[in-house]
């Protein structure tokens, strides 16, 4: 059961990070609420988050295959 939860967390985080990285959704949202000064720092947060969630997904898939 924990493996399925880990896989769901990895996939959900990956999808959210991809949507925020490769579409202007987060830039538009931050601009709309007046936090457009944060846009310059998005790459420092989103790219490592994307890497982390992809690693979690790969790890969960490897554990699932081994079981």
**Model pLDDT for residues 14-30, shown as the tens digit of each residue:** 998 888 877 788 888 88
Higher pLDDT pick, 41 / 51: 51
Instruction: Specify burial of residue 32 (Cβ count, 10 A radius: 0-12, 13-18, 19+).
Output: exposed
**Domain ranges, ordered by start, for the chain:** 2-66
pLDDT for the residue numbered 1: 54
Q: Enter the pTM of the model.
A: 0.79
């Amino acid at each position: 059961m924990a493996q399925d939860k880990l896989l769901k967390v990895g996939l959900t985080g990956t999808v959210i990070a991809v949507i925020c990285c490769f579409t202007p959704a987060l830039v538009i949202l931050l601009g709309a609420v007046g936090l457009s000064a944060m846009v310059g720092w998005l790459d420092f947060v989103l790219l490592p988050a994307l890497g982390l969630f992809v690693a979690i997904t790969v790890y969960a898939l490897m554990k699932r295959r081994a079981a």
